[in-house]
Structure 1
Amino acid sequence: MPAPGSRQVQTESAPESRRRALSTARARIIGWMLLLVLGALSVLTLVTWRLSVEDVDRRMDDALRGEIEEFGKLTRSGIDPATGQAFTSVKQVLNVAITYNLARPNEKFIGYVDGTFVYQSRQQAPVLLADDPNFTALVSTVDTPKEGVYESAAGEVRYLAVPVRLANDPREGVIVAAYFADQEREDVNEVARLMLGAGAGTILLVAAGAWMVAGRILRPLRDITVTARSITDTDLSRRIPQPSSRPGDEIGELVDTVNAMLDRVENGVAAQRRFVDDAGHELRTPITIVRGHLEVLDPADPEDVRDTVALVEDELVRMNRMVSDLLLLARSEQPEFLHAEPTDVAALTEAIFDKITGLGERDWALDHVADTPAVLDPQRITQAVVALADNAARYTPEGGRIALASHRDDDVVRFQVTDSGPGIAEEDRERIFERFARGGSGRRSEGAGLGLSIVRAIATSHGGRVTLDSEPGRGATFTVEVPVVAAPPHPGRHTEGGR
């Protein structure tokens, strides 16, 4: 049972959480896409339907006016077109007008005399307007032309009523042309319904397409999640698969950025591991020496105490130097390690030469000076060349020749240190650049074997390299080669070594 006051937190499994997160993101994408498509289709359907309805209404109104105009011509002439004789009654006028004018579908002609229905066209209608007392009261007794809209049992009716009179007939007639508007608009409504049905099908197709597109868009994000969950403190090598992307592709840029971040993390962790491994490997020996001497120390023997203290002090100095070198190598992989600035190579070479001549009684020579400007870190270059000169002095006997030179070739500046020491065997030329490694010259250096590793780190931080030209018995030439304008080192490039 959990301790009192403790909280139980239920967490869902990683695959379930990932699926839920991606499904939510995918649902949002699909939802917004469908909302936009639905809005566009709704606006298109509504606008099309309204324009079509207005066109139908305009045609109905034009047709009503045209019919009434025909009726007007007939009454104005006063002649029955069937007999050629003059009309004798209003009722006769209405009968001829309704008989000779063929009503269109959904159109109806109705005649009234003294407010009473007398004639109507033969076309079938949804309702009999002649039997509708409200409509009859509305139009049967008008004394001036009247048009309007009436809501019948069959829906909207658009009508135009015109009075009919004859000089020889005191009775008053009315002829009405009416359209059943809802039925006339049925074709337009059917088209709108078809558009809505097609829109629904389009929505389904868009949803399916959006589902697949959203899945492809979110796939790199899923890969990022999977990769991030698969990375452990012991395995940092996993990278996100790079999709085929074009310039400006945000997802591709995200993947590149995350992969670059993972490279930096892996390099940083690797540097830490190397530092810990190297420190543990190399510090174990002096610690063991100090512990061994302290265990057998005789406190009552002053001489033994003095010798032990001297030995411990010497080992501590060596350990301090070793840790400082390891820290320097660790910092060499950081961007702030290098501080490049415009530098006069000739003045820098001469300043370095003045410093190295105090390293020992050797035949120091300044062979060549490159009179050229460059953008580099003068302090780091000085540190590297002095380390090479110190390394040469250790392996060159007193009176032996050690030469310094600098050269400019195209876009590269070279600093060379040549000694007349024992040289380096071919099988040792790569190994001496590894950390804590030393050449097989027969003499053991007092250093920790990190000198050439530091030199390589400095050259690499400039975007350059260190080369070695040597033959056993004929000395060695180390060259620090850097660009005229210092370039950042390649990510993941590490330096190691020692002679």
Structure 2
Amino acid sequence: MTLSRSRRRQAEPASAPRRRALSTARARIIAWMLLLVFVALAVLTLVTWRLSVDDVDARMDEALRSEIEEFTNLTQSGIDPSTGQAFSGVDQVLEVAITYNLARPNEKFLGYIDGTFAYQSRQQAPVLLANDRAFTDLVATVDRPKEGFYESAAGEVRYIAVPVSLAQDPRRGVIVAAYFADQEREDVNDIARLMAGAGAATILLVAAGAWVVAGRILRPLRDITATARSITDTDLSRRIPQASRRPGDEIGELVDTVNAMLDRVENAVAVQRRFVDDAGHELRTPITIVRGHLEVLDTSDPDDVAGTLALVEDELMRMNRMVSDLLLLAKSEQPEFLRAEPVDVAALTSSVFDKITGLGEREWVLDHVADTEAVLDPQRITQAVVALADNAARHTEVGGRIAFSSHSSGGMVRFSVKDSGPGVSAEDRERIFERFARGGSGRRSEGAGLGLSIVRAIAAAHGGRVTLDSEPGQGAMFTVEVPVVAAPPHPGRHTEGGR
């Protein structure tokens, strides 16, 4: 029980940072989304409210100006519209003007005679401007039309004061149209508050939606973390699960990139392990041979010393060649293995044929030359063909016929080496290109059995393959087939047949 609790305590700190990191990323996404939504809603509400207030203010100003026109027309005519008789005094003008004009909501009409309040409209008002001494002092004695703003106990008041006079009356009157602006704007303010409330609800909905969306966005990142933690030095096969990806999906591209990186890492580790395994397996025999002869060496016998030295030198040369071949096979799975360039296949064929004719006393024949251009690595192709020719020379008697040719068709270039040796048996074809494999037909090779593996690796690096056409007793024809333009090999590609 104690051990179990200890392990649990060790596991919790390892997973806690991951949860905190994901939570932090999720919180950041949500915070930025909410900030953007808040700014957008705030700007929208503010602009809508400001435009609406401006519209209300413009409507009040227009209403006040229309009152000026009505009051002016009434006083200029000097006729009471209700009786058709001339006004008898300023007080009658004010009474008729205030009674005749119907005040709008939040609008108030007031009349003053010689600086003293006299009349007002019947509409209810938030405050009694008639009792406001400061307002009376401001408007009761004007001698020409005046408009302005006044801060009352009920807020802003927008007003217009128009002087009224009659020739037959020495008294001076003033008629005032006043709007309680704050009350008039109250509907707009209510709409703004409603928009603010709706915005708050929208932000809550966006927060909930952002939480879900952020979780889905971060799911591949959690998969990456889980996959990375599940990979060990003995198991590199795990990959991040990938759902169907749409074009332009950055997260999907990240998953593909990480999976491709894991493929490369697994391949590199596999190459390293295979190299170590092969080297350890194949070098054990020559080392054992050298050690065994050195243990029984009679240093007093010159012939024994000379023979042992010759054997040790031969085994060391074989080990050196074996290590070089293994390193070459390891490099063949790396991108920099090839140095492709435009090549004249005819010139390459002639050059390679001149080199292989020195491999032994055989009847070397150049059957056909492809007259084409190709993009490939001429040195690697030369290496592969020389290896095939050397293999053919080892399995062909002196004076035997070995034909070399190159052909081009269907976007592929083929280099073939055909010998007149004993051919390849059916059972050998299944394993001839494997590392350290040696065919059972013909003479035994003293090599390490890596030559044909190297040929296959060179062909695969070009995006091609090696094929074998042979019947026992009828010779064998090996063909290196590569694209006209060298392409990287497909994962898991295998060559056919083998000697």
Contact 1:450 1:496 in 2 (8 A): no
Q: Distance in 1 between matches of 2:112 and 2:63?
A: 21
* Structure 1 length-normalised TM: 0.93
SS of equivalent residue, structure 1 residue 33: helix
Moved over 6 A (4+): 494-498
Q: Distance in 2 between matches of 1:343 and 1:149?
A: 93
Q: Distance in 1 between matches of 2:34 and 2:347?
A: 71
SS of equivalent residue, structure 2 residue 110: strand
Specify whether residues 110 and 373 from structure 1 end up closer, same or farther in structure 2 by C-alpha distance, changes over 3 A only: closer
Matched, 1:375 2:375: yes
**Structure 2 letter corresponding to 1:233:** D
Q: Which residue of 1 aligns with 2:18?
A: 18
Contact 1:434 1:496 in 2 (8 A): no
Cα shift readout 1:92-125 (whole Å, capped 9, x = no counterpart): 2212221222211111111111211121111111
Q: Distance in 1 between matches of 2:362 and 2:23?
A: 75
Specify whether residues 68 and 142 from structure 1 end up closer, same or farther in structure 2 by C-alpha distance, changes over 3 A only: same
Q: Number of aligned pairs?
A: 490
SS of equivalent residue, structure 1 residue 298: coil
**Structure 2 letter corresponding to 1:145:** P
**Structure 2 letter corresponding to 1:333:** E
Matched, 1:210 2:210: yes
After superposition, the CA RMSD in angstroms is 2.2
Q: Which residue of 2 aligns with 1:142?
A: 142
Q: Distance in 2 between matches of 1:381 and 1:112?
A: 114
**Structure 2 letter corresponding to 1:297:** L
**Structure 2 letter corresponding to 1:423:** G
Q: Which residue of 1 aligns with 2:70?
A: 70
Q: Which residue of 1 aligns with 2:328?
A: 328
SS of equivalent residue, structure 1 residue 123: coil
Q: Distance in 2 between matches of 1:315 and 1:192?
A: 94
Contact 1:286 1:319 in 2 (8 A): yes
Contact 1:457 1:495 in 2 (8 A): no
* Structure 2 length-normalised TM: 0.93
Q: Distance in 2 between matches of 1:404 and 1:379?
A: 17
Q: Distance in 1 between matches of 2:347 and 2:251?
A: 50
Q: Which residue of 2 aligns with 1:417?
A: 417
Where structure 2 has 5 or more consecutive residues not aligned to the other structure, the ranges are: 1-9
Q: Which residue of 1 aligns with 2:305?
A: 305
Q: Distance in 2 between matches of 1:51 and 1:58?
A: 10
Cα shift readout 1:140-178 (whole Å, capped 9, x = no counterpart): 111111111110001011111111112222221111111
Q: Which moved more, 1:444-453 or 1:224-233?
A: 224-233
Q: Which moved more, 1:403-412 or 1:473-482?
A: 403-412
Q: Which moved more, 1:356-365 or 1:413-422?
A: 356-365
Q: Which residue of 2 aligns with 1:481?
A: 481
SS of equivalent residue, structure 2 residue 333: coil
Q: Distance in 1 between matches of 2:349 and 2:70?
A: 114
| Aligned ranges 1:346-425 → 2 under 5 Å | 346-425=346-425
| Aligned ranges 1:70-149 → 2 under 5 Å | 70-149=70-149
Q: Distance in 1 between matches of 2:107 and 2:209?
A: 48
Give how far 1:31 is off: 2.0
Contact 1:41 1:199 in 2 (8 A): yes
Matched, 1:338 2:350: no
| Aligned ranges 1:256-295 → 2 under 5 Å | 256-295=256-295
| Aligned ranges 1:194-273 → 2 under 5 Å | 194-273=194-273
**Structure 1 letter corresponding to 2:25:** A
Q: Distance in 1 between matches of 2:371 and 2:56?
A: 93
Where structure 1 has 5 or more consecutive residues not aligned to the other structure, the ranges are: 1-9
Q: Which residue of 2 aligns with 1:470?
A: 470
Contact 2:468 2:497 in 1 (8 A): no
Give how far 1:347 is off: 2.9
Cα shift readout 1:255-312 (whole Å, capped 9, x = no counterpart): 2222222221111111111111110110011111111222222223332222222211
Q: Which moved more, 1:186-195 or 1:26-35?
A: 26-35
Q: Which residue of 2 aligns with 1:3?
A: none
Q: Which moved more, 1:18-27 or 1:184-193?
A: 18-27
Give how far 1:11 is off: 11
Specify whether residues 498 and 56 from structure 1 end up closer, same or farther in structure 2 by C-alpha distance, changes over 3 A only: same
Give how far 1:482 is off: 1.4
Identity of aligned residues (%): 84
**Structure 1 letter corresponding to 2:167:** A
Q: Which residue of 2 aligns with 1:168?
A: 168
